């Protein structure tokens, strides 16, 4: 049977009871575990993003055609990215909100690039359960704070993409991006 | 309580499960203490190796399927995508590709073992026949798998093999259209081959389970080909044969690794690096090496229908082998003539493989005809007659006797009559 007397001895007995067989069993077991891991790893890793997927990691977006108040949605890594041209008042308003009023306190300055407060770029996926919020089109419902409104469970975001009301736990994340010129950004 | 299994396992969790579903008792009975003839040689490793190989093929195949596109427009590129972009895709594909070759190497040796030691004879006829079913399923699976990369050899291999069925009168062309799902090998063909290539390995598992279940009813044959008579003739499967199988497994894995890491395309065909082109047939159409003998049989006959029939018959004849061989002695060790003729048959089989790799011209035509003739002569004429004419050598009284009793067969020395080796 599986439990031999020798196995119980090794736990309670003296070191003299540890036999060569115990050592061999341990080495065999450890070897099998390492080998199993080495076999499993390539198979599991093959499910990670392939090199062609990783290669699609950055896109350029031309900002010139986007009028004030308008927003566009672009695809980046298979996700919708909201790029919105805020009016000067909206930008000022968003910057003036005291952090104490926010569920996930973060200053508007930390969410835009220096010198470009009118442009807000966020990943357009509600942080609650992954729906795409409305509000990028001027005709969409934008919620009480004039930003985005998620139709699934009513989360409301302000013009900085910060969560203000509803079940979503955090602000819409800002993807890594940089201004290449005044009218062009590179996302990723 | 009535109905519950009385489990003997000390571990409470195992005992709880085993009481309700005695899988641990079954494992212990079938793979732990299972009495196995004690005189196995390394030929008896190959069944276990084939089992492991099937597992390797299924594991790698599932991960390949996650990245493969069974569409004639995308298939070739998706295989290149696996080779270049997918993490370790090259490794998984090369293991799968060479795994097919390893599977046939292992299975052919396993079959040879059965032929040499008469493992197909009573009471193991059904066990053997299920083995032949496994061989046929393996061949179908391997063939359809080879089509999936959608290279030139995939495409034209598929065309030639499916066209075999057109040889049958009246229904032939209808069968071919049905196989294709169109009027040539095309996207519908690729789709269904992929579906079947994914399905058949699981059917294989089912038949392999029956093969092993039947084996555990009638028990293993052994190099002497005589029945187990007393417990002294056997050893518990574990640890004796788990260890012996492990030794063979190491050798097997070394050969496998050499193929995968140093010569991954050694057994492949360079034409399959060219995307399938329905308008141009490659100059030399050859199947994978493991199909070459049957291919040679097909080409050795100048009549289309007869060639196809002979090719199928070369496998189907194995089904009736238990009744064609009239000798009651199993092992070739005690059959002086069969012992030589089985090697002639092996030479004919290998000769057919060599013929299959060459264009059917000149000497190769003659050679493949001679080999085909012997292949069938061996099964259909020699084996039925040999059983009546051959005078077998005297069989040992028991498996233990030739080990412990010397050649004289006198009374056993006292030490040998005690219990076999105890676990130290």
Of residues A2, A42, A52, nearest to B81 (C-beta): A52
Tens-place pLDDT, residues B207-257: 999 999 999 999 999 999 999 999 999 999 999 999 999 999 999 999 999
| End residue of a domain, out of A12, A33, A48 | A48
Tens-place pLDDT, residues A57-69: 788 999 999 988 8
Q: Does A4 share its domain with A78?
A: no
Contact A2 B10 (CB under 8 A): yes
**Cβ–Cβ < 8 Å for B355, B371:** yes
Cα–Cα dist A74/A123, whole Å: 10
Distances in whole angstroms, Cα of residue B418 to Cα of each of A81, B27, B232, B405, B414: 81, 28, 9, 13, 7
| End residue of a domain, out of A25, A48, A71 | A48
Q: Does A45 touch chain B (CB under 8 A)?
A: yes
Contact A2 B11 (CB under 8 A): yes
Give bridge partners of residue A186 from the DSSP assignment.
Answer: A60, A178
The segment with the largest mean pLDDT, out of A56-60, A163-167, B340-344, is: B340-344
Q: Is A4 left (phi over 0), alpha (psi -120 to 50) or beta?
A: beta
Three-state secondary structure string covering A65-83: CCCCCCEEEEEECCEEEEE
* Window A:24-43, CB contacts with B under 8 Å: 42-43
Burial of B54 (0-12, 13-18, 19+ CB in 10 A): buried
Cβ neighbours, 10 Å, residue B375: 23
Tens-place pLDDT, residues B261-271: 999 999 999 99
Q: Does B391 touch chain A (CB under 8 A)?
A: no
- Which residues, 6+ apart, have CB-to-CB distance to B375 below 8 Å? B297, B314, B345, B348, B349, B352
Q: Is B220 assigned a catalytic role?
A: yes
Q: Does A20 touch chain B (CB under 8 A)?
A: no
Q: Does B77 touch chain A (CB under 8 A)?
A: no
Q: Does A52 touch chain B (CB under 8 A)?
A: yes
Of residues A1, A3, A46, nearest to B87 (C-beta): A46
Task: Please provide the size of chain B in residues.
Answer: 424
Of residues B81, B87, B91, nearest to A48 (C-beta): B87
Q: Does A44 share its domain with A91?
A: no
What is the pLDDT at residue A1?
A: 38
Residues of A in contact with B67 (CB under 8 A): 46, 50
pLDDT higher than threshold 70 for residue B372: yes
pLDDT higher than threshold 70 for residue A12: no
Q: Does A99 share its domain with A42?
A: no
The CATH number of the domain holding residue A170 is 2.102.10.10
pLDDT higher than threshold 80 for residue A5: no
Q: Does A170 share its domain with A92?
A: yes
Cβ neighbours, 10 Å, residue B138: 23
Cα–Cα dist B176/B182, whole Å: 9
Sign of CA dihedral B63, B66, B67, B70: positive
Cα–Cα dist B162/B180, whole Å: 8
Q: Does A74 share its domain with A163?
A: yes
Containing B157, the helix (H) or strand (E) segment is helix B152-163
Cα–Cα dist B412/B406, whole Å: 9
Residue B122 CA from chain centroid, whole number:
20
- Give percent of chain B above pLDDT 90: 89
ipTM rounded to 2 decimals: 0.80
Among B363, B357, B354, which residue's Cα sits nearest to residue B284? B357
For the residues A83-88, what does the mean pLDDT come to?
A: 91
* Nearest residue in chain A measured CA to CA from B89: A46
* Nearest residue in chain B measured CA to CA from A48: B87
Contact B14 A3 (CB under 8 A): no
Q: Is B361 assigned a catalytic role?
A: no
For the residues B14-39, what does the mean pLDDT come to?
A: 93
Q: Does A13 share its domain with A100?
A: no
Give bridge partners of residue A73 from the DSSP assignment.
Answer: A82
Structure tokens at A134: 């409305």
Q: Does A4 share its domain with A89?
A: no
Q: Does A70 share its domain with A162?
A: yes
To the nearest whole Å, the CA of B56 is away from the closest chain A CA by 10
pLDDT higher than threshold 50 for residue A8: no
For the residues A1-12, what does the mean pLDDT come to?
A: 45
Structure tokens at B234: 């056997």
Cα–Cα dist B82/B88, whole Å: 8
What is the pLDDT at residue B412?
A: 45
Q: Does A96 share its domain with A3?
A: no
Q: Does A105 share its domain with A122?
A: yes
Using the 8-state DSSP alphabet, how is residue B43 labeled? G
Q: Which domain holds residue A163?
A: 54-187
Number of domains comprising chain A: 2
Which residue is catalytic, options B18, B233, B245, B269?
A: B245
Q: Among A31-35, A134-138, B1-5, which stretch is predicted with the lowest mean pLDDT? A: B1-5
Contact A51 B60 (CB under 8 A): no
- What rounded mean pLDDT belongs to chain A? 87
Q: Which residue would you say has higher pLDDT here, B181 or A140?
A: B181
Cα–Cα dist B282/B156, whole Å: 8
pLDDT higher than threshold 70 for residue A9: no
What pLDDT band is residue B284 in, cutting at 50, 70 and 90?
confident
What is the pLDDT at residue B14?
A: 95
Contact B87 A2 (CB under 8 A): no
Q: Does A34 share its domain with A64?
A: no
pLDDT higher than threshold 90 for residue B307: yes
Relative to beta strand B35-37, strand A184-187 is unpaired
What is the pLDDT at residue B2?
A: 64
- What rounded mean pLDDT belongs to chain B? 92
What is the pLDDT at residue B418?
A: 46
Q: Among A34-38, B44-48, B414-418, which stretch is predicted with the lowest mean pLDDT? A: B414-418
| A contact test, residue of B74, B87, B88 with most A CBs within 10 A | B87
pLDDT higher than threshold 90 for residue A7: no
What pLDDT band is residue A23 in, cutting at 50, 70 and 90?
very high
Contact A47 B66 (CB under 8 A): yes
Q: Is B30 assigned a catalytic role?
A: no
Residue with tokens 């499967």: B237
What is the pLDDT at residue A10?
A: 44
pLDDT higher than threshold 60 for residue B407: no
Cα–Cα dist A134/A149, whole Å: 5
Q: Does A139 touch chain B (CB under 8 A)?
A: no
What pLDDT band is residue A13 in, cutting at 50, 70 and 90?
very low
Contact B84 A42 (CB under 8 A): no
What pLDDT band is residue B177 in, cutting at 50, 70 and 90?
very high
What is the pLDDT at residue A14?
A: 52
Q: Does A129 share its domain with A180?
A: yes
Q: Does A5 touch chain B (CB under 8 A)?
A: no
The pTM assigned to this predicted structure is 0.84
What pLDDT band is residue B388 in, cutting at 50, 70 and 90?
very high
Residues of B in contact with A3 (CB under 8 A): 10-11
What is the pLDDT at residue B405?
A: 53
Residues of A in contact with B257 (CB under 8 A): none
């Amino acid at each position: 049977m599986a439990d031999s007397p020798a196995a119980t001895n090794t736990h309670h007995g003296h070191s003299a009871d540890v036999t060569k067989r115990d050592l061999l069993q341990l080495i065999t077991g450890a070897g099998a575990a390492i080998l199993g891991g080495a076999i499993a790893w390539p198979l599991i890793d093959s499910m990670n993003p392939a090199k062609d997927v990783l290669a699609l990691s950055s896109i350029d977006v031309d900002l010139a055609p986007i009028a004030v108040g308008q927003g566009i949605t672009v695809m980046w890594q298979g996700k919708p990215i909201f790029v919105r041209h805020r009016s000067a008042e909206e930008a000022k308003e968003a910057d003036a909100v005291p952090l104490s009023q926010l569920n996930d306190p973060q200053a508007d300055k930390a969410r835009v690039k220096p010198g470009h407060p009118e442009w807000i770029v966020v990943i357009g996926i509600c942080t609650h359960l992954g729906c795409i919020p409305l509000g990028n089109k001027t005709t969409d419902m934008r919620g009480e704070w004039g930003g985005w409104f998620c139709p699934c469970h009513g989360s409301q975001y302000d013009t900085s993409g910060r969560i203000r009301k509803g079940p979503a736990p955090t602000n819409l994340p800002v993807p890594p991006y940089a201004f290449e010129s005044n009218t062009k950004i590179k996302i990723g | 309580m009535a109905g519950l299994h009385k489990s003997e396992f000390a571990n409470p969790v195992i005992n709880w499960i085993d009481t309700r579903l005695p899988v641990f008792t079954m494992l212990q009975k079938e793979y732990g203490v299972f009495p196995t003839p004690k005189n196995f040689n390394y030929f008896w490793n190959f069944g276990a190796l084939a089992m492991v190989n099937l597992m390797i093929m299924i594991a790698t195949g599932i991960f390949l399927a996650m990245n493969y596109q069974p569409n004639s427009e995308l298939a070739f590129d998706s295989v290149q995508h696996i080779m270049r972009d997918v993490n370790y895709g090259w490794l998984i594909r090369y293991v799968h590709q060479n795994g097919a070759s390893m599977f046939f190497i292992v299975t052919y040796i396993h079959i040879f073992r059965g032929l040499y030691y008469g493992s197909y004879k009573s009471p193991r006829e059904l066990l053997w026949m299920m083995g032949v079913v496994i061989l046929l399923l393996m061949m179908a699976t391997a063939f359809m798998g080879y089509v999936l990369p959608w290279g030139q050899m995939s495409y034209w291999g598929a065309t030639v093999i499916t066209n075999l069925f057109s040889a049958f009168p009246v229904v032939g062309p209808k069968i071919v259209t049905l196989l294709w799902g169109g009027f040539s090998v095309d996207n519908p063909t690729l789709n269904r081959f992929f579906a079947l290539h994914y399905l058949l390995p699981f059917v294989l598992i089912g038949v392999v389970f029956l093969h092993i279940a039947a084996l555990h009813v009638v028990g293993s044959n052994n190099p002497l080909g005589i029945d187990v008579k007393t417990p002294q003739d056997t050893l518990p499967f574990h640890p004796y044969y788990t260890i012996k199988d492990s030794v063979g497994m190491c050798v097997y894995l070394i050969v496998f690794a050499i193929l995968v890491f140093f010569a991954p395309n050694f057994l492949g065909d360079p034409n399959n690096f060219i995307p399938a082109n329905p308008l141009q047939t490659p100059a030399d159409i050859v199947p994978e090496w493991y199909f070459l003998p049957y291919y040679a049989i097909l080409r050795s006959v100048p009549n289309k229908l007869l060639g196809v029939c002979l090719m199928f018959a070369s496998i189907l004849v194995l089904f009736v082998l238990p009744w064609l061989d009239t000798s009651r002695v199993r092992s070739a060790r005690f059959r002086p003539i069969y012992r030589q003729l089985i090697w002639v048959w092996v030479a004919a089989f290998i000769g057919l493989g060599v013929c299959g790799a060459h264009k059917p011209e000149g000497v190769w035509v003659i050679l493949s005809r001679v080999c085909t003739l012997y292949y069938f002569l061996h099964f259909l004429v020699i084996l039925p007659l040999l059983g009546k004419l051959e005078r077998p050598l005297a069989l040992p009284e028991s498996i233990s006797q030739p080990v412990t009793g010397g050649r004289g067969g006198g009374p056993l020395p006292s030490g040998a009559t005690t219990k076999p080796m105890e676990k130290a």
